[in-house]
A and B are shown apart, each in its own frame.
Chain A
């Protein structure tokens, strides 16, 4: 399958050959930022170009991945989850067979999610640029914790912007960030969630750009961020590809990942986008309903527009104001999405779907009780879709699920939400 292009040269440019030097993924991407930031983006592009060919940089990052993060993360065969999918298949009259579900265990990465892959990479870039301070935005707190960890390891100063609503619902991560020596700055404007934290981080960067690097936590923002974050996160898909060949004997039939900004999905999808036979499915936060303000399913219900420096799908009202969003998961609660996902959606390469709060909570409990793995609420959205999808497939097929993060941070919020649903719980 990986050699499907041999013999004839593909006529179309390969989907992986993006972005352009201007930062375009098809029509999406670009750099819609105040002029004050353009010099910093140019510097970042230049430093990143220089390290791309620099073995020392990648050796250093690989060593950190191996010894600090615990990479490669395992590929885990979820037998009881698969049996559950087969049971669903039997009940819905599909013959009782299901594809085998495999988990790429990013939840086992140090700090509990894939976010550390990006923060260590950008942390090393920060050192190359000679900057002493990093800032970050965070929703669920995983990117904040990963940034604080990279800062501690590399001896950098670290400030993390976090919406006050998220400070409440992800309290454990706030404590972790502070223990790691970072300052957590609560953001009280707008909806008090990830979008507003991103606004404040950008404002900080406008005034501090000469000594500060902004570690964006997802494949969003102005070029070159979507490319850099994707590249650092694509270690997920690169490892998963080799592990699939080893354990399944071939590539998976389908890959499922949750999408907020879209960094774990971009990381696991990107090494597979040119393998046309591998179905790629991104799962957005369907929230309470399809009504505006009740979900955060940007690719499912949004339209192209500019947010946080990039042209991509966005949830906007007809006047161009960013719409309110809702998700039970703080990490998916974002009205934008990475421009490469918009490109993949419009090209038809990736299918995007949405999972509701209720379905995600069910999947949270399901994975915990069938496999002994408590997933993050973000990840739970993908778990729900993977189980549904597997139950429609054949038993010799394989579904690869990106288990992007663990749910320790969510136990308080999830038990609160479960208790609301079932007071006897």
Chain B
């Protein structure tokens, strides 16, 4: 059993929920990732989503897009991220999920194969993947590569996804289901929508844990989400704080504090 399954099984048997922060590799500094991951681990995160910077992230709002552009400008490459993860992996118990545009993955797989690319990520220490621009219809090759390499592949379910299709996506996913709380792009919002109907529907289609993302920014949002879901994903709110780290603090300190604050919503 992979690390992602183990983490969710342990949480389930303890009747606990997961906090899944998202960070962009190479942001706010090229070398920030290892310390940020350690700080998130110490502050209540169970799994961290690591965004590999992409020049044209159409699903991301201005905060994450700017972080990605900054990281690319600073010289962040997939190879560098893999080296950073490999260097820190033995000090991390948390799950690591790569959030990678299929544009990047296709390019890395050119002249190689999806399974070989995913194996490189796995060997560095990644446990699973989210490909935000890979819908069910195009996903088969990458899902079987994930299965072959013992990594998870969570496809996205959107508010606009019809129920029958949502069930098929749920059945095709491994590790956990990724439910988008809203249409639109990533970013912070003030209100959380009611997802209980969609979550009940997904529970009937799949036994996998359900993680909810898009627009979760406060401990109250986290609290609201984990009433029905198994995990809350926090992206833009954390990335925005990391974009404005005061000179007397480190990115790891800022990430750790905010993550601790958010994990109050799990209680």
Chain A residues near B (Cβ < 8 Å):
22, 30-40, 189-190, 195, 199, 202-203, 206-210, 303-309, 311, 316, 318-322
Whether B156 pairs with A35 at a CB distance below 8 angstroms is yes
Bound Cα distance from A342 to B101, whole angstroms: 21
- B136 → chain A closest CB, angstroms: 8
- Given A304, A308, A318, which contacts B58 in the complex, CB threshold below 8 Å? A308
Q: Does B243 contact A (CB under 8 A)?
A: no
The distance in angstroms between the C-alpha atoms of A309 and B59, with both chains bound, is 11
B105 at the interface (CB under 8 A from A): yes
The main secondary structure of chain A at its interface with chain B is mixed
B102 to chain A, nearest CB (A): 5
Interface residues on B, range: 35 or more
Nearest CB on B from A164, distance (A): 15
Pick 10 A–B contacts, CB within 8 A, sort by A: A22-B137, A32-B135, A33-B133, A35-B135, A35-B157, A35-B158, A37-B160, A38-B136, A203-B61, A306-B133
Chain A residues near B56: list those with CB within 8 A: 190, 195, 199, 307-308, 322
* 9 smallest beta-carbon distances between A and B, as pairs: A207-B184, A320-B107, A320-B104, A36-B158, A39-B160, A35-B156, A306-B103, A34-B59, A35-B158
Interface residues of B (CB under 8 A from A): 54-59, 61-62, 65-66, 69, 72, 77-79, 101-108, 110, 132-138, 155-162, 165, 169, 180, 182-185
B107 x A207 contact (CB < 8 A): no
A107 to B8 alpha-carbon distance, docked (Å): 62
Contacts of A31 in B (CB 8 A): 135, 137-138
Across the interface, B107 reaches (CB within 8 A) one of A39, A189, A318, namely A318
Interface pair B103/A305, CB less than 8 Å apart: yes
Extra contacts, 16 of them, besides A35-B169, A305-B110 (Cβ < 8 A), are A31-B135, A33-B133, A34-B132, A34-B158, A36-B156, A36-B159, A38-B136, A190-B55, A206-B59, A207-B182, A304-B106, A311-B106, A319-B107, A320-B101, A320-B107, A321-B55
- Please measure, in the bound complex, the distance between the C-alpha atom of A203 and the C-alpha atom of B186, giving whole angstroms: 10
In the complex, how many angstroms separate the beta carbon of B210 from the nearest chain A beta carbon? 15
Q: Is the CB of B161 within 8 A of A199?
A: no
Q: How far is the CB of B117 from chain A (nearest CB, A)?
A: 11
Contact of B58 with A203 in the complex, beta carbons under 8 Å:
yes
A324 to chain B minimum Cβ distance, whole angstroms, is: 9
* Contact (Cβ within 8 A) A207 B106: no
The answer to whether B58 and A206 touch across the interface, beta carbons within 8 angstroms, is yes
Q: Given the interface contacts A189-B69, A306-B106, does A36 sit within 8 Å of B183 by beta carbon?
A: yes
Contact A320 B160 (CB under 8 A): no
Query: Could you say which of A22, A32, A319 contacts B133, with CB atoms under 8 Å apart?
Result: A32
Bound: A305/B105 CA distance, A: 9
Known: A34-B59, A305-B103, A309-B133. A190 touches B161 (CB 8 A): no
Q: A199-B56, A202-B58 are in contact. Are A36 and B137 (CB under 8 A)?
A: no
A-side contacts of B102, CB under 8 Å: 32, 306
Contact between chains at B161 and A35 (CB < 8 Å):
yes
Q: Which A residues are in CB contact (< 8 Å) with B66? A: 189
Question: Which residue of chain A is the closest to B111 with respect to CB atoms?
Answer: A303
Residues of A with C-beta under 8 A to B57: 199
Interface centre among B57, B138, B180 (most CB of A within 10 A): B138
Complex formed: what's the CA distance from A203 to B66 in Å? 14
Which chain B residues lie closer than 8 Å to A37 at the CB level?
160
B242 to chain A, nearest CB (A): 19
CA distance A210 to B136 in the complex (A): 21
What's the Cα separation between A316 and B182 when bound, in Å?
31
Least CB distance, B76 to chain A, in whole angstroms: 9
| Shortest distance from the beta carbon of B124 to any chain A beta carbon, whole Å | 15
A31→B137 CA distance, assembly (Å): 8
Residues of B near A40 (CB, < 8 A) are: 160
Q: How distant is the Cα of A303 from the Cα of B155 in the complex, in angstroms?
A: 27
Contact check, B110 vs A304: say whether CB atoms are below 8 A apart: yes
Partner of B104, one of A39, A206, A319: A319
Residues of A within 8 A of B161 (CB): 35, 38-39
Q: Kindly provide the distance from the CB of B84 to the nearest chain A CB, expressed in whole angstroms.
A: 15
B169 to chain A: which residues have CB within 8 Å?
A: 35
A206→B183 contact, CB < 8 A: yes
Q: Taking the nearest CB of chain B, how far is it from the CB of A20, in angstroms?
A: 12
Q: How far is the CA of A321 from the CA of B56 in the complex (A)?
A: 8
A209 and B160 in contact (CB under 8 A), knowing A36-B180, A203-B58?
yes
CA distance A189 to B135 in the complex (A): 26
Cα separation A31 to B102 with both chains bound (whole Å) = 11
Residues of A within 8 A of B185 (CB): 203, 206-207
- Chain A residues, CB < 8 A from B55: 190, 321-322
Known: A35-B157, A36-B159, A311-B106. A189 touches B184 (CB 8 A): no
For the complex formed, measure the closest distance between the CB of B79 and the CB atoms of chain A, giving whole angstroms.
Answer: 8
Query: With A and B bound together, what is the CA distance between A322 and B103 in angstroms?
Result: 9
A30 engages B138 (CB within 8 Å): yes
B69 touching A320 by the CB < 8 A rule?
no
Report the nearest B residue to A202, measured CB to CB. B58
- When distances are taken between beta carbons in the complex, the residues of chain A under 8 Å from B105 are 320
Closest to A323 in B: B55
B60: nearest residue on chain A (CB-CB)? A203
